[in-house]
Amino acid sequence: MTVKLNEKDKRMLQGEYGKATKLAMSILVRMAEVYGAEEMMDVALAHIDGVGLLSEASLEFAETLATLGGRVAIPTTLNMVPLDIQQWEKWKIPEDYAHRALRQIRAYINMGCIPTCTCAPYQGYLTPRFGQQIAWAESNAIVYANSVLGARTNRYGDYIDICAAITGRVPKYGLHLKANRRGQLLLRLVDIEPAWMKSDTFYPLLGHFLGRTAGDKIPVIEGLPAQVTDDQLKALGAAAASSGAVALFHAVGVTPEAHTLEEAFQNEPPEGVIDVHPDDLVAAQKELSTAEADAPLDAVVLGCPHFSFTEFQQLAQIIQAQGGQSIHSGVQFVVLTNQLTLSLLQRSNLITLLTSFGIQIVLDTCDFHCPILHSETKVIMTNSGKQAYYAPGELGVQVALGTMADCVRSAIKGRVVRSETPWTES
Ligand code: F3S
């Protein structure tokens, strides 16, 4: 099928806007052909994941575009990058790796990207609006933008993201179109006490189940409390986009395209109905927890996706409740976040409490892309479904998934301390 191009698209393809734009547009037109899109459309914002993974090819691609005069046409934020820009020396990162990573980041900044360096761009700068057409990469950011904010993006991948940013155009298909945002599967929460939904492990476990069950379909959740927080929805979406390819979920009475069940399904019947029982969540926790209870603990990793200021406030409260105890000498306690949140922390009264407890605050990056954890790390603990899902494969470690409070108590004791059911405190 030939893609219908407007005059500006054609001029971009012919090179009138420079070589980088020509290259970016030719990649996007090819993508439109692959997906069977009939035409191109404008996007208002972009978020770049391609800056995070460092390889010879990724560096060459970014530097080539920048050298060819590539410039983003729309406000464009950066995802996490391959190192903590300010304090990478502290993490014993090989100099050659660091210099190539810094060159890659510089190439994107030179193209006009905003160096937010976070995988939670929706909790910072340039949060998309309801209905806004955007081109975002990074799976957890995509599902949050679509589901919680009601912005519209497909699951853009590395390198297509910067092409969309340079041209401000994408193929018109998929989740950019309202008809394709209709709910497909109904998930009903059954026998789950409202109190359980306050536990911070409830959301990653539900997300893990959601991803496993829905795959790439659009699930509609019935039964979530209206008071669910942004951080809880962040945890749910990140887990669902890891165990499955969920790019959009609706939660009836919570998310903006699902005021009612009928609205979520656009007045069509669901393709299937699945009941979620407490046992499903217990099973999800077992699946995500490969470490034995009581196993010696090497590290705690929080902030996957990047920690928000309100999550730091919760963590500080939990630490305060431990009555001055500090982290076990054999445990590394890492919290991943971004520069914006750190500046809020530095203005608050929390930073001294957190660092004197022994917490290492890591900016801009991710433990899967940067060697932050000690090389001898064998067992980690986290409250993140996404971290728990990928860590065995990415880091070769065993994982325990628990609440934030479980993580703090385990860090103090130096071993995994966790309740058997996800919603009771240990
Ligand atoms: Fe962010 Fe890395 Fe987790 S990119 S979402 S901290 S896996």
Task: Please name the residue whose Cα sits nearest to atom 1 of ligand 1.
Answer: 305
State the Cα–Cα distance between residues 92 and 172, nearest whole angstrom.
45
Ligand 1 site, residue 80, Cβ cutoff 6 A: yes
Measure 418 CA to ligand 1 centroid, in angstroms. Answer: 23
Measure 366 CA to ligand 1 centroid, in angstroms. Answer: 5
Beta bridge pairs of residue 296? 415
Q: Are 91 and 364 in contact, with CB atoms under 8 Å apart?
A: no
Instruction: Give the per-residue pLDDT at 418.
Output: 83
Specify the DSSP element, H or E, that contains 189: strand 185-189
> Per-domain residue ranges for the chain?
7-178, 182-287, 289-413
Instruction: Give the per-residue pLDDT at 424.
Output: 64
Substitution candidate for ligand 1 out of 47, 54, 79, 336 with most atoms within 8 A of CB: 336
Instruction: Give the per-residue pLDDT at 83.
Output: 96
Ligand 1 site, residue 276, Cβ cutoff 6 A: no
Instruction: Give the per-residue pLDDT at 138.
Output: 97
pTM, 2 dp: 0.96
State the Cα–Cα distance between residues 110 and 179, nearest whole angstrom.
38
- Residues of the chain below pLDDT 70: 1, 420-426
State the Cα–Cα distance between residues 249 and 219, nearest whole angstrom.
5
Question: Right CATH number for 7-178 from 1.10.8, 3.30.499, 3.40.1350, 3.30.1360?
Answer: 3.30.499
Task: Please name the residue whose Cα sits nearest to atom 2 of ligand 1.
Answer: 366
Substitution candidate for ligand 1 out of 386, 399, 401 with most atoms within 8 A of CB: 386
Ligand 1 site, residue 47, Cβ cutoff 6 A: no
Q: Are 121 and 223 in contact, with CB atoms under 8 Å apart?
A: no
Instruction: Give the per-residue pLDDT at 96.
Output: 95
State the Cα–Cα distance between residues 249 and 352, nearest whole angstrom.
38
Q: Burial letters for 238-252: b for 16+ Cβ neighbours within 10 Å, e otherwise?
A: bbbbbbbebbbbbbb
Beta bridge pairs of residue 4? 39
Substitution candidate for ligand 1 out of 307, 387, 390, 401 with most atoms within 8 A of CB: 387
Q: Burial letters for 384-419: b for 16+ Cβ neighbours within 10 Å, e otherwise?
A: bbbbbbbbeeebebbbbbbbbbbbbbbbbbebbbbb
Class of domain 289-413: alpha beta
Ligand 1 site, residue 372, Cβ cutoff 6 A: no
Instruction: Give the per-residue pLDDT at 2.
Output: 87
Ligand 1 site, residue 305, Cβ cutoff 6 A: yes
